[in-house]
Chains A and B, each alone.
Chain A
Amino acid sequence: MSVGFPLLSLIIWLPILFGIAVFSTGGDHNAQPARWIALIGSILGFLVAIPLYTEFDPTTSVMQFTENRVWFERFNVNYHLGVDGISMPLILLNCFTTPLVVIAGWQVIQQRVSQYLGAFLMMSGIVNGVFASLDAVLFYVFWEASLIPMFLIIGIWGGPNRVYAAIKFFLYTLLGSLLMLIAFIYLYRSSGGSFSIADYHQLSIPFTAQILIFIAFLLAFAVKVPMWPVHTWLPDAHVEAPTGGSVVLAAIMLKLGGYGFLRFSLPIVPDASHYLAEMMIVLSLIAVVYIGLVALMQADMKKLIAYSSVAHMGFVTLGFFLFNAYGVEGAMVQMISHGFISGAMFLCVGVLYDRLHSRQIADYGGVVNKMPFFAAFFMLFAMANAGLPGTSGFVGEFMVIMGSVQVNFWYAFLAATTLIFGAAYTLWMYKRVIFGAVASPAVEGLQDISNREFILLAVLALAVLWLGIYPFPLTDVMHVSVDNLLEHVSNSKL
């Protein structure tokens, strides 16, 4: 459905404009107005995105809410926007997360408030742009632009080792995306001068070129996801990032990589995708098993959750390369669910960090005695992280495992080990942090969550439960688009 109203532009630019407005409040003497403008902007940003779901037509895979204007006529670059069932849920996830991040930073951030909040709002708009772009250049611009706010958030408001982490993050991801640009230029030339992603989907490409393009895309997307072995930037970035940064990084940024595979790798170079599928599956399974074991050994809560993110995102890439509906839809659900759960987990660690200024598991113990409400929420999210049925964490993993067994029993076997490892690392951490007798005078002095924190965690808890108990509305909108994608991928383009 194409409405005359430029809804997608609004969804992209409204947060960015609000971000600029927040910036313009200046120094910290205006912190309070900056917070309120940011909150209003982020909530408006979510509200304007709601029609995307309510007006969405789930019976077609055609791009909806399209906008198309000429940008650089000479190179045939267009400001071309549109969404389908694959990108729409991700935009909603992003718009949903932004207000939470603003609220999470409400009291915690006391320095350069306007810049911090402005960065998040701009980030939100830019990410919406990535998901809505139907033009490769536009996509690339948004893609690279999204690095800047996150780089600054880690580099300015991060922990002691923030500069190393920020630069590692930046270089890792930049290196990947440069190759993607080269792939775009190749596609531009071979398509006879088009940057339209839809045109690329129709292009026939020789096998060797497909492989090279696949690898170029792979480097860009694998770093973002992140897949093993290019994941090592993530734990560092998370550990140093402020809570809000970690939430956006895990909930949103990682999804850019996953989205890239669906929008570019699979449909543009299907033959290469099939040819290299086994390699991709093996890398994904390494992420599940190897990273699951690495997570077990972490002493730092944020690192543990970061590693757990890598393991969970392994399910996403695994699902994509099974080339069946269970796998791809499961991977999509897993991306949305991971957005909720990892966001919530990082917020939970943030709640503790704000009080004790430590992320070390060993510094805690017996928190439940002092923070029972917090412990209850944390239990829910920990269980969701361990993939308990009834929470969103189960749905995606279940579907992907169902999909893998149809391809190869051993894929499913290795993927299903997450049932054990996921529970082991999450609940062992939970046990050491939350259960037991009060471990130290510092824990003795802990205060239970404030109303602000309660609202944040309650909203996420509802989201996690809703998606676990009734995921139908989510899969319903992506169904036709995924089917279309699968059909597309099954046709050779040599």
Chain B
Amino acid sequence: MQTLYLLVPIAPLLGAIIAGLFGRQIGTVWSHRATISLVFISFIASLIIFVDVLGGNVFNGTVYTWLVTGDTHFEIGFLIDQLTATMMVVVSLVSLMVHVYTIGYMHGDPGYQRFFSYISLFTFSMMMLVMSNNFLQLFFGWEAVGLVSYLLIGFWYTRPTAIYANLKAFLVNRVGDFGFLLGIALVLSYCGTLDYADVFEQAPEIAKQTIEIIPGSSWLVITVICILLFIGAMGKSAQFPLHVWLPDSMEGPTPISALIHAATMVTAGIFMVARMSPLFELSDVALSVILLTGGITTLFMALVAIVQTDIKRVVAYSTLSQLGYMTVALGASAYSAAIFHLMTHAFFKAVLFLGAGSVIIAMHHEQNMEKMGGLKKYMPITYWTMFIASLASAGVPGFSGFFSKDTIIEAVGFATIPYAEFAYYCVVATVFVTALYTFRLFFMTFHGEARMDEHTKSHLHESPWVVTLPLIVLAIPAVGAGWFIGPIVFGDYFNNVIYVLPEHAAIEKLGAEFTGIGGMMAHALTTVPFWLSVAGIFTAWFLYTIKTNWPGKIKSAFGPVYTVLDKKYYIDELYSWLFAGGARALGSVFWKFGDMKLIDGSIVNGSAKLVAWTATLVRRFQTGYIYHYAFTMIVGIFAILTFWLH
């Protein structure tokens, strides 16, 4: 079994090396054959491991010692348990489908092999991240997926917007990583180890200690650690105020938007917090921060999605909002619900993205929904899979998104820590918004009149099977994954992985009421979220198929509100002025004034000038005339005599 553990990350790494270093020699076909079969091996291995873990076989062990310093061993190792195994299956399945999809989407691109190399490298990095048994390797995987994300957002490197977006994504993520690394440093300094199991064991001890970060105000160490770690999660999982990079990341090719910026990488933060539940549980303050952040992200990012016209950006803002749901779940101590939503979201969002990509191919790389419409009859497979994913996204009972989202909403309702109420209203209100933007996209794209030009219209056709097959394969769990909520969330599946304090046991209370998925659906019909969802879908249908001139009227009636949403609350403008501008201004001052004027100008060249000036003065005495020397000598003798005889 241990060989199999190694195989899961190593196989895609090998694929990345083959396609990356020898892609030119082996050509496009063998590049995708090699990478896809290696990812397929990784997927099969993940499945076998998953079944093995279900049988109760968990593993925690070292692969090799990275470094020894002082008395601390830093190791590379694997922790294979229910949480890891779930993530491994999700990651390898979505990755495999995206690999296949890429054959169609990137067909004829000059960077074909490079693209396969990157996505395989991503799969390797993500596997290392989820399989880690310690903070160090977690950070390795964390930064490595960030690197691949950077490379892929800037994949079309001649586009100014793409290379702006990838730099922005990397730097914003680095702000998160900055907090994350400090959190890790504090963990090491208080526990003396970075191994999960050892750290969790010591967590109750640390929870009693305090630290004075700012002199005079003492904080619980565990709160500081958790908030710092969560800052890392805010970067990677794009939570307000570090969310700004994700919408821009849509500059990358669509397959990676699905794989990295929706299904897997961005959920790393959620995964991490769930993994750290034995730490986060001990700090109510940190959980409140998480609730607040998640609540803001859920609602306010969903609102932005309503006004976007770029099909990928709608899905991107939807991702932000859905990540907000997961974050809220974490804050409410409903870790298993967060992971469950992570899983269902991975499937339905991958379908939405890949479906959007399929539309974009058909539209000859036009992404503006205002130029689409009526695509239903041309692209039936894309249409129906997108329809399923949209229902899942809107949380219609029976589809996967319903089960996970409803559980989160209910769990937040049970939470009692500060900001739980705020978060609750956010997530409930967002149900309506979600249904609205999801079906706005759906109706604008597939229904109504066709608004594209004649040339595009005459070439409209369904995408090739390499594109539609992944859609179909992923649409199945987009419906059915939710049906396993009983055992996964309310059962004992995560019992040994996720730790919840008795006073935070929202999921346990919900579980007591849980009577099966049928009962859950029946119950939902009597709750507010269900009707909000229906209202959202109806509104979208009404505005975008019946009264298609109303959206324009609403837009002009609510001009300022629309502008604020369209400008995404002016956060990008604020950041580029404050941080990018501020850093440059400060750098200029330090350089031009500090280095050039003060240090070089006054001190270095100043002392040189002083020497030169003294030398000029002294040189006046070296005239070469004997009477000058004689005169100087006499003055000198007088001076000495005066001094001596005084």
Q: Which residues of A contact B (CB under 8 A)?
A: 168, 172, 229, 232-233, 290-291, 293-298, 324-326, 329-330, 366, 368-369, 379, 383, 388-390, 394-395, 398-399, 401-402, 404-406, 409-410, 412-413, 416-417, 419-421, 423-424, 427-428, 431, 434-437, 470-472, 475-476, 479
Asked whether A405 and B185 contact (CB < 8 A) given A436-B163, A472-B66, A479-B68, the answer is yes
> Is B604 close to A, CB under 8 A?
yes
Structural contact, B167 and A401, CB atoms closer than 8 A: no
> Is B631 close to A, CB under 8 A?
no
Which residues of A are found within 8 Å of B588, using beta-carbon distances?
297
Structural contact, A232 and B186, CB atoms closer than 8 A: no
Q: Mark B615-640, 1 if CB is under 8 A from A, else 0.
A: 00000000000000000000000000
- Of B52-60, B137-145, B338-346, B361-369, the stretch lying at the interface with chain A is B137-145
Closest to B154 in A: A435
Structural contact, A416 and B587, CB atoms closer than 8 A: no
> Is B174 close to A, CB under 8 A?
yes
Structural contact, B188 and A402, CB atoms closer than 8 A: yes
- Tell me the smallest distance from the CB of A377 to a CB of chain B, in Å: 12
Which label, helix, strand, loop or mixed, suits the secondary structure of the B interface? helix
Q: Mark B546-589, 1 if CB is under 8 A from A, else 0.
A: 00000000000000000000000000000000000001101110
Structural contact, B587 and A297, CB atoms closer than 8 A: yes
Which residues of B are found within 8 Å of A297, using beta-carbon distances?
584, 587-588, 591
> Is B599 close to A, CB under 8 A?
yes
> Is B512 close to A, CB under 8 A?
no
Structural contact, B171 and A475, CB atoms closer than 8 A: no
Structural contact, A405 and B186, CB atoms closer than 8 A: yes
Which residues of A are found within 8 Å of B184, using beta-carbon distances?
402
Q: Mark B167-191, 1 if CB is under 8 A from A, else 0.
A: 1001100110110011011101100
Structural contact, A475 and B599, CB atoms closer than 8 A: no
Asked whether A402 and B587 contact (CB < 8 A) given A369-B158, A388-B147, A428-B167, the answer is no
Structural contact, A472 and B591, CB atoms closer than 8 A: no
Structural contact, B604 and A324, CB atoms closer than 8 A: no
Structural contact, A470 and B66, CB atoms closer than 8 A: yes
In the complex, A416→B228 CA distance in Å? 13
Which residues of B are found within 8 Å of A417, using beta-carbon distances?
178
Structural contact, A419 and B178, CB atoms closer than 8 A: yes
In the complex, A413→B599 CA distance in Å? 26
- Tell me the smallest distance from the CB of B182 to a CB of chain A, in Å: 6
Which residues of A are found within 8 Å of B186, using beta-carbon distances?
405, 409
In the complex, A424→B184 CA distance in Å? 22
- Tell me the smallest distance from the CB of A376 to a CB of chain B, in Å: 9
Structural contact, B587 and A389, CB atoms closer than 8 A: no
- Tell me the smallest distance from the CB of A293 to a CB of chain B, in Å: 4
Structural contact, A293 and B586, CB atoms closer than 8 A: yes
Asked whether A423 and B587 contact (CB < 8 A) given A369-B158, A405-B182, A472-B65, the answer is no
Which residues of A are found within 8 Å of B480, using beta-carbon distances?
none
Interface centre among A379, A401, A427, A434 (most CB of B within 10 A): A427
Which residues of A are found within 8 Å of B51, using beta-carbon distances?
none
> Is B613 close to A, CB under 8 A?
no
29 residue pairs from A and B, CB less than 8 Å apart: A232-B600, A291-B590, A293-B586, A293-B587, A293-B591, A298-B591, A325-B69, A388-B144, A388-B147, A389-B144, A390-B144, A404-B185, A405-B189, A409-B211, A417-B178, A419-B177, A419-B178, A420-B171, A423-B170, A423-B171, A435-B154, A435-B157, A435-B163, A436-B158, A471-B66, A472-B67, A475-B68, A475-B69, A479-B69
- Tell me the smallest distance from the CB of B578 to a CB of chain A, in Å: 14
Q: Which residues of B contact A (CB under 8 A)?
A: 64-70, 72, 139-140, 143-144, 147, 150-151, 154, 157-158, 160, 163, 167, 170-171, 174-175, 177-178, 181-182, 184-186, 188-189, 211, 213, 583-584, 586-588, 590-591, 594-595, 599-600, 603-604
In the complex, A468→B207 CA distance in Å? 33
Closest to B601 in A: A232
Structural contact, A436 and B160, CB atoms closer than 8 A: yes
In the complex, A436→B189 CA distance in Å? 44
Closest to B163 in A: A435
Structural contact, B599 and A229, CB atoms closer than 8 A: yes
Interface centre among A402, A421, A428 (most CB of B within 10 A): A402
Asked whether A232 and B595 contact (CB < 8 A) given A390-B144, A405-B186, A431-B163, the answer is yes
Structural contact, B69 and A330, CB atoms closer than 8 A: yes
From A229, A329, A379, B69 is in contact (CB under 8 Å) with: A329
Closest to A291 in B: B590
In the complex, A420→B186 CA distance in Å? 19
- Tell me the smallest distance from the CB of A388 to a CB of chain B, in Å: 6
Closest to B141 in A: A389
In the complex, A160→B65 CA distance in Å? 50
Which residues of B are found within 8 Å of A421, using beta-carbon distances?
583
Structural contact, A419 and B174, CB atoms closer than 8 A: yes
Which residues of B are found within 8 Å of A410, using beta-carbon distances?
213
Asked whether A471 and B67 contact (CB < 8 A) given A388-B147, A435-B154, the answer is yes
Structural contact, A296 and B158, CB atoms closer than 8 A: no
Structural contact, B167 and A431, CB atoms closer than 8 A: yes
Which residues of B are found within 8 Å of A379, using beta-carbon distances?
151
Asked whether A366 and B158 contact (CB < 8 A) given A290-B594, A297-B588, A389-B140, the answer is yes
In the complex, A383→B177 CA distance in Å? 15
Asked whether A290 and B175 contact (CB < 8 A) given A427-B167, A428-B167, the answer is no
Which residues of A are found within 8 Å of B213, using beta-carbon distances?
409-410
From A325, A402, A409, A437, B158 is in contact (CB under 8 Å) with: A437
Which residues of A are found within 8 Å of B143, using beta-carbon distances?
388-390, 394
- Tell me the smallest distance from the CB of B484 to a CB of chain A, in Å: 35
From B66, B139, B583, A293 is in contact (CB under 8 Å) with: B583
Which residues of B are found within 8 Å of A325, using beta-carbon distances?
69-70
Closest to A437 in B: B158
Which residues of A are found within 8 Å of B600, using beta-carbon distances?
232
Structural contact, A420 and B178, CB atoms closer than 8 A: yes
In the complex, A390→B69 CA distance in Å? 18
In the complex, A262→B282 CA distance in Å? 42
Which 10 pairs between the two chains have the least Cβ-Cβ distance? A325-B70, A293-B587, A405-B185, A297-B587, A435-B163, A294-B591, A296-B587, A389-B140, A435-B157, A437-B158
Give 14 new A-B contacts, CB below 8 A, not counting A329-B69, A412-B182, A435-B158: A229-B603, A290-B590, A293-B586, A293-B590, A294-B594, A325-B70, A389-B139, A389-B140, A398-B181, A417-B178, A424-B171, A435-B157, A472-B65, A472-B66
